[in-house]
Structure 1
């Protein structure tokens, strides 16, 4: 068994927590009135559930123990990104005219190696999987190319593991920042990722088992697409035929985000074209 396969929920959770603290703004300029409203709604919903469903002390204490374990395992980023973030993203993008977005997830790392298009993502010499050419154009809502637009891209490998979140992988494996050309065209050579289960040996896995849910996410490519004076798009792009498109545990799949790669004429893998349309900055 390789080190890569031995990745644990605790290790992944600790990495996700550390990355969040390093890279995210987590102090909102929110008034006391707004905090009062939101906190009261959330606490009220919990209490309403307890009263309506006649929650017992045994169930309440089990919940307390589980919440403590989520923190000890470092799995709050995983829990929130899997079960909550999709609603936050929907609010954030509800007025956009351009391309659809979806959740970022817990495995984003900024400042990946930058390349001009055409690009090949960093990968091992014997990287397993099917080669994939991912290409398209970046335009504004009027169809005009956004020269020098940027595609940050990251995804799991053929076993479902992310570099910097599983041992045994090179630091920037299957991660990169690609700069489009003067016509807004980008071209990225990578490997088609595999579906994977979110870590199940920690607190989130205990919730999944207790509820009788599955832990699967459909295979996907993560991107952040941006250009000067335009709104950032954060998205995940999925693949036609994946059995978990309709029951993604993270509820992040949208029809507009499903890719349909085709075999390349020269037999060297698959290719797919996907265009991004960016809204003007607010």
Structure 2
């Protein structure tokens, strides 16, 4: 199965799925547009671009190469990938700067709402022969006052041991390694899954060409994605990484924060690893 997935997974396929998922999300949301705000942001963005052109004496050949690349990004469906890898971490930083509770991180392009609802102790949906080190991820959800948040929702998704996400690569069950766990009355949860591996963002499309041209690497460190929420409290979106893991110190998406690095320990019976991580939510 791994060989089949590796052969058929493409940047274009992944990008198209990410773009469609984003469009579906936008169709469910309505945003008010402040014309003055748009004017300010777009004007400053263009001014910054003008300054770069002047300072670096950008040539017509370079300008035409940029136009061609921007067109290809759209044709590849990679705008969600490009924006989430290189810009979202700063948007998230600004959005969370006044938060008192747990640190957040980027959502990334591979989130899918509506994953199966599971009890407070549960195993994420996975294949019978799922490859990877078993991982028990457990903790408690509280408010900033320390009070347990009964029935809090802990939504988790992550890549498999080959670095692929269900619904964004062929050959994977629809909800593989995705689930929504409902914490108990004390806000406690236990999630059984596998520890994911580092992976490259798609490199056979436009983003890959940019990475090659700039001499960058394309790797993200192994990570768990989570959305944690409770009535009357702010939802937190975050990613959790693994101490000592590859690319933790040079994540291409610049999304790692010291507070988000886990340090799992071996389970006593040798059946895998376990880690405890608590979430603290701000009032809405």
TM-score (norm 2): 0.97
Aligned to 2:216: 213
Q: How does 1:49-60 map to 2 (within 5 A)?
A: 49-60=52-63
Distance 2:188 2:66 in 1: 50
Deviation at 1:243, TM superposition (A): 2.4
Q: Deviations over 1:121-165 (max 9, x none)?
A: 000000000000000000000111000000000000000000000
Per the alignment, residue 140 of structure 1 pairs with 143
- The 5-angstrom pairing of residues 81-230 of structure 1 reads 81-230=84-233
| Structure 2 equivalent of residue 44 of structure 1 | 47
What's 2:19 paired with? 17
The Cα RMSD (Å) is 0.9
- Give 3-state SS (helix, strand or coil) of 1:187's partner: strand
Structure-to-structure mapping, 1:228-267, within 5 angstroms: 228-267=231-270
Q: Unmatched 5+ residue regions in structure 1?
A: none
SS of the aligned residue for 2:163 comes to: coil
CA contact (8 A) 2:111 2:157 kept: yes
**Residues 216-254 of structure 1: CA deviation (Å, up to 9, x unaligned):** 000000000000000000000000001211110000000
SS of the equivalent of 2:135 reads strand
CA change 1:36–1:226 in 2 (3 A) is same
Does structure 1 conserve the Cα–Cα contact (< 8 Å) formed by 2:138 and 2:191? yes
User: Match for residue 68 of structure 2?
Assistant: 65
2:253 counterpart SS class: coil
Q: How far apart in 2 are the matches of 1:117 and 1:164?
A: 25
Structure-1 separation of matches of 2:254 and 2:220? 9
- How far did 1:26 drift? 6.4
1:3 is displaced (CA, Å) by: 2.5
Question: How much has 1:30 moved relative to structure 2?
Answer: 2.5
For structure 2, the residue ranges without an aligned partner over 5 or more in a row are none
Aligned 1:20-31 pairs, distance under 5 A:
20-24=22-26, 27-31=30-34
Distance 1:65 1:255 in 2: 38
Distance 2:71 2:29 in 1: 21
Query: Does structure 1 retain, via aligned residues, the 8 Å contact 2:198–2:246?
Result: no
How many residues are aligned here?
281
CA distance in 2, matches of 1:266, 1:4: 33
Which residue number in structure 2 is paired with residue 274 of structure 1? Answer: 277
SS of 1:109's partner is coil
